[in-house]
């Protein structure tokens, strides 16, 4: 039984993604609450699940035909006990308050694990950049920032990219922030290299995820070399995961987008990955085009009717879900288990349903939750802020080394926290407990606010 406060479910019963994320954390931290009554006494649970602030706003913009359109913008400022709110902006038609509250809640614990002073937040809009011209995306970003700029700041709230927000969108958002605030501040991360960005930031979530997987395998005297891997998604996190896996000698067999997936039995090598990067980042095409370039690969379209995702039926040793939430369900988990998967390492935020997580843990698999495994993204965002503050740019090797150290520290922190509470080798429980303790202790120190 988890300790979800009754109010949380009663107030927002329809916020399924948020309640899923809360249930996961509260189930994990129950032994902590039982052992240390102060947390309950000081209402830490009731406070930690309630955002400090949610901002919603209208975003009117004009399309290329001169028609006025209106989208809804959000920023969920979840918890600032250990630092300024930090978390992504998601531009996707599915975005609603539940999804952003779950992302912000995840960020509270993920950011605490990074060892950096970062609070948790998330934001975004139901605007869909897919199929829009650059001029439309620019006008939208400018109007989105015309409201958001009042609420963010280098010491207040520092957004970064997430689904649908890459370097193009961060550029337009930063430009408008700079104009409105008349300040060149480290207020967004994922900035261009020539104007305050950090080397390795675009790759950090994916690279960090692979470093985490390598650490997990090392606990079993194993490595990624020669391992067959399924990767989902084909955006920022999937591309970087794929690149690092190739560099570490693994064989990547798949990539996907919301329309379907490709399976390439020969393996996706560096040259094929370059094609995918041009396809997705420059031409803004679909992953189905991969088979036109590499006809030996097979494309399978996604179908809303299917209960299980056909991508997860392929045989592989390691799984890197890097697309979106709940992309691996119970049936998918059983398919993977039957195919003797060794490791699931989450690049995306909450890509496994609660049932899928339970199946992986029951079978004693190496399973890493996104809040630990993909924390490299926000960690290098923190390093970008440090470089902005000292007005210096570190070399790529320096940032990458720091990222490796942070991922190893997160890995060890998860293992140690899990072990201390009697859940040896359970990375899910370890990540939730370690993240919770850091934030909860800061909240205790700072009083009831």
Contact residues toward ligand NDP (CB under 6 A) are 161-164, 166, 205, 233-238, 257-259, 322-324, 347-349, 374, 377
Q: How far is CA 284 from the centre of its chain?
A: 21
CB 447 to ligand NDP: min, Å: 32
CB 128 to ligand NDP: min, Å: 9
**CB nearer to ligand NDP: pick between 146 and 214:** 214
**CB nearer to ligand NDP: pick between 32 and 350:** 350
**CB nearer to ligand NDP: pick between 48 and 262:** 262
For residues 297 and 307, what is the distance between their CA atoms, to the nearest angstrom? Answer: 24
CB 183 to ligand NDP: min, Å: 24
Residue 371 has φ and ψ, to the nearest 5°, of -65, -20
Residue 194 has φ and ψ, to the nearest 5°, of -80, -10
**CB nearer to ligand NDP: pick between 224 and 255:** 255
CB 116 to ligand NDP: min, Å: 14
> Is 121 in contact with 85 (CB distance < 8 Å)?
yes
Q: Where are the beta strands (DSSP E) in 317-435?
A: 318-320, 343-345, 366-368
CB 5 to ligand NDP: min, Å: 25
**Residue with the two structure tokens 């305050």:** 196
**CB nearer to ligand NDP: pick between 210 and 348:** 348
Residue 31 has φ and ψ, to the nearest 5°, of -60, -30
Q: Which helix (H) or strand (E) holds 359?
A: helix 354-362
**CB nearer to ligand NDP: pick between 44 and 73:** 73
CB 386 to ligand NDP: min, Å: 17
For residues 238 and 287, what is the distance between their CA atoms, to the nearest angstrom? Answer: 12
DSSP 92-112: -TT--HHHHHHHHHHHHHHHH
Question: With 0-12 CB in 10 A as exposed, 13-18 as middle and 19+ as buried, what is 180?
Answer: middle
Which residue is at the shortest CB distance from ligand NDP?
235
**CB nearer to ligand NDP: pick between 162 and 332:** 162
For residues 263 and 307, what is the distance between their CA atoms, to the nearest angstrom? Answer: 20
CB 123 to ligand NDP: min, Å: 12
């Amino acid at each position: 039984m988890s300790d979800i406060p009754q109010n949380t479910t009663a107030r927002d019963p329809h916020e399924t993604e948020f309640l899923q994320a809360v249930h996961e954390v509260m189930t994990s931290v129950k032994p902590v609450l039982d052992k240390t009554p102060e947390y309950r006494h000081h209402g830490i649970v009731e406070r930690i699940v309630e955002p400090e602030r949610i901002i919603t706003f209208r975003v009117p913009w004009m399309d290329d035909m001169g028609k006025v359109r209106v989208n809804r913008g959000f920023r969920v400022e979840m918890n600032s006990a250990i630092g300024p709110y930090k978390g992504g902006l998601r531009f996707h038609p599915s975005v609603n308050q539940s999804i952003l509250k779950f992302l912000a809640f995840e960020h509270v614990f993920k950011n605490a694990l990074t060892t950096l002073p970062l609070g948790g937040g998330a934001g975004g809009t139901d605007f869909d950049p897919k199929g829009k011209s650059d001029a439309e995306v620019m006008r939208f970003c400018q109007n989105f920032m015309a409201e958001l700029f009042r609420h963010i700041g280098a010491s207040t709230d520092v957004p970064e990219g997430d689904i649908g927000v890459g370097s193009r969108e961060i550029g337009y958002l930063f430009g408008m922030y700079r104009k409105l605030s008349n300040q060149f501040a480290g207020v967004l991360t994922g900035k261009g290299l020539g104007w305050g960005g950090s080397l390795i930031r675009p790759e950090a979530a994916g690279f960090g995820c692979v470093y985490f997987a390598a650490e997990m395998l090392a606990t079993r005297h194993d490595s990624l070399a020669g391992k067959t891997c399924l990767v989902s998604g084909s955006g920022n996190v999937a591309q970087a995961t794929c690149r690092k896996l190739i560099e570490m000698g693994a064989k990547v067999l798949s990539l996907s987008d919301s329309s379907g997936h490709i399976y390439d039995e020969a393996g996706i090598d560096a040259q094929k990955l370059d094609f995918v990067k041009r396809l997705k980042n420059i031409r803004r095409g679909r992953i189905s085009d991969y088979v036109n370039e590499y006809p030996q690969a097979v494309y399978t379209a996604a179908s809303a009717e299917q209960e299980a995702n056909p991508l997860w039926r392929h045989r592989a040793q390691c799984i890197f879900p890097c697309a979106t939430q709940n992309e691996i369900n119970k049936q998918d988990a059983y398919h993977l288990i039957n195919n003797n998967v060794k490791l699931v390492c989450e690049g995306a935020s909450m890509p496994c349903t609660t049932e899928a997580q339970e199946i992986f843990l029951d079978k004693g698999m190496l399973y890493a939750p996104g809040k630990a495994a993909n924390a490299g993204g926000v960690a290098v965002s923190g390093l970008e802020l440090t470089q902005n503050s000292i007005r210096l740019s570190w070399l790529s090797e320096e940032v990458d080394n720091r990222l490796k150290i942070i991922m190893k520290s997160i890995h060890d922190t998860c293992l140690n926290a899990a072990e201390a509470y009697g859940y040896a080798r359970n990375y899910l429980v370890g990540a939730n407990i370690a993240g919770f303790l850091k934030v909860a202790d800061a909240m205790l120190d700072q009083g009831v606010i």
